[in-house]
Structure 1
Amino acid sequence: MSERVRLGVNIDHVATVRNARGGSHPDPVRAARVALAAGGDGITAHLREDRRHITDRDIEALSALCAEAGRPLNLEMALTEEMLAIALRHRPHAACLVPERREEVTTEGGLNVVAQADDMARAAGTLSAAGIRVSLFIDPDVEQVKASAAVGAQVIELHTGRFCHAVGDAHGVEFRRLAEAARLGHSLGLEVHAGHGLNYETAAEVLAIPEIRELNIGHFLIGEAVFIGLDAAVGRMRTVMDGITA
């Protein structure tokens, strides 16, 4: 039996709905609790510089919840001094460095680790010294994978957006890029994760790549929750993943 692939549930968009009207409902911490009970292995949250969804108070509460549940919190964050200080204060299980632009709706691509190698290495050293696993969100590009290993990351998360949106022959091309990047990352001692744009079908496809150890999924699960409930959406994703990995 293959090792069980972990499911990280990103609850950012619960906070997006809450913030649309203000107040405290719906509560992303309650969503995190439901997701963990339904089969999620950990919680992912992106504290953006402009606080458009997750807030500092959310991170405090999510840190406490994950610690109580004995489950990992994956803090997605831009590479800024402010975000490094927040990560060092809360000491999440992992910090996933992601590119961030104020005008984007969602993260549109991976980090350019090659071009930012010195800054990435300094951040990776600081976070690792604090006992925080360092993950870099990158496109499935061999040079970015090599650079991620060189700067001291323990994990890479492969951006699956292009794969999920590609059709026809392009879909197969993007799958092969993911598979090649995953193989290389694994050979360099990196743990390989994947995420962005995944649904039940594309998650099952990605899990045919044996080196991938974790999927991080948010928007699709929160969208499905509107129709079938968050516990059912997470439970179905867990069933899909177990069917592939068993």
Structure 2
Amino acid sequence: MTRLSVNINKIATLRNSRGGSVPSVVEAAINCQKFGAEGITVHPRPDERHIRRQDVYDIKPHIYTELNIEGYPSEDFLKLVIDVKADQATLVPDKPGQLTSDHGWNTIENEAFLVDVIKELKKNGIRTSIFVDPDLKMVEGAKRVGTDRIELYTEPYASLYMKDAEKAVAPFVEAAKLAHNLGLGINAGHDLNLKNLKYLVDMIPYIDEVSIGHALVADALYLGLHNTIKEYLECLKP
């Protein structure tokens, strides 16, 4: 079954808006796991506008599922990931001030760079995943750079889903099929929610993991965190 990794960045955004330590990102990580999440995702950015570097060090001792750290593979990022011995590093091609991830890697133009980064992570026993668009050439390029998994950037799917679900999912099915045939693991994330998640995993049954943050935290405001995680896990059942 596809695993659910909860991105807790939005918990940190709420905390930072007021200062202090409420709500606690450590407590959020503990509770997400207790309520059934099979992983915790964080995306520390250089400006620390949500998850901070220190948060990652604070959270790690409490992770008994998996810790997935997303980010642009700068020297500082790689040091952090290796220091805390993350289970997975998800590499994104974000610029320093970017609001949110909005595209995948050009795995052809960045091949040499990604090869070096992935070798360093693998040397330290860290599984790698790289953000890609549902472009077959980019998926083939992902295989060449040596990554363990790809993460399909699903915002285009989410945007079109309510208008034409079949059309929305089609390129993702093809990209995932190719990745699967190439022996790559498949993750997915960005703008997935309770409305569009089940259809995606039904159409692509070999997705290893989905990483969901914004929608899940927003749903938790109305449903509560425990009930929300339960609802997302229901969507992932075959």
Verify: 1:56 aligned to 2:53, yes or no. Answer: yes
- Equivalent AA in structure 2 for residue 225 of structure 1: A
**Structure 2 residue matching 1:201: 3-state secondary structure:** coil
**Structure 1 residue matching 2:192: 3-state secondary structure:** coil
- Equivalent AA in structure 1 for residue 22 of structure 2: H
Offset of 1:99 from its aligned partner? Answer: 1.8
Which sections of structure 1, spanning at least 5 residues, go unmatched?
Answer: none
Verify: 1:197 aligned to 2:191, yes or no. Answer: yes
Distance 1:90 1:172, change over 3 A: same
Verify: 1:113 aligned to 2:107, yes or no. Answer: yes
Structure-2 separation of matches of 1:96 and 1:205: 24
Q: What is the TM-score normalised by the length of structure 1? A: 0.93
Verify: 1:145 aligned to 2:139, yes or no. Answer: yes
Distance 1:7 1:167, change over 3 A: closer
**Structure 2 residue matching 1:215: 3-state secondary structure:** strand
Verify: 1:128 aligned to 2:111, yes or no. Answer: no
**Number of positions where the alignment pairs a residue of Structure 1 with one of Structure 2:** 237
Taking every aligned residue pair, what percent have the same amino acid on both sides? 34
**Structure 2 residue matching 1:58: 3-state secondary structure:** helix
Corresponding residue number in structure 1 for 2:14:
17
User: Which of residues 155, 171, 175 in structure 2 aligns to 1:181?
Assistant: 175
2:161 and 2:168 in contact (8 A); partners too: no
Offset of 1:211 from its aligned partner? Answer: 2.2
Structure-2 separation of matches of 1:237 and 1:54: 23
Offset of 1:220 from its aligned partner? Answer: 0.5
* 1:32-181 alignment, distance < 5 Å: 32-66=29-63, 69=64, 71-166=65-160, 171-181=165-175
Q: What is the TM-score normalised by the length of structure 2? A: 0.96
Structure-1 separation of matches of 2:161 and 2:235: 22
Deviation track 1:176-219 (CA, whole Å, cap 9, x = no partner) reads 11001111111111111111101112110111112212111110
Which sections of structure 2, spanning at least 5 residues, go unmatched?
Answer: none
Offset of 1:171 from its aligned partner? Answer: 4.2
User: Which of residues 203, 224, 230 in structure 1 aligns to 2:225?
Assistant: 230
Structure-2 separation of matches of 1:174 and 1:136: 21
Structure-1 separation of matches of 2:80 and 2:152: 24
Structure-2 separation of matches of 1:185 and 1:221: 27
Structure-1 separation of matches of 2:210 and 2:179: 15
Structure-1 separation of matches of 2:132 and 2:150: 7
Offset of 1:45 from its aligned partner? Answer: 0.4
Distance 1:143 1:228, change over 3 A: same
> CA RMSD, aligned part only?
1.3
- 149-158 or 55-64, which deviates more: 55-64
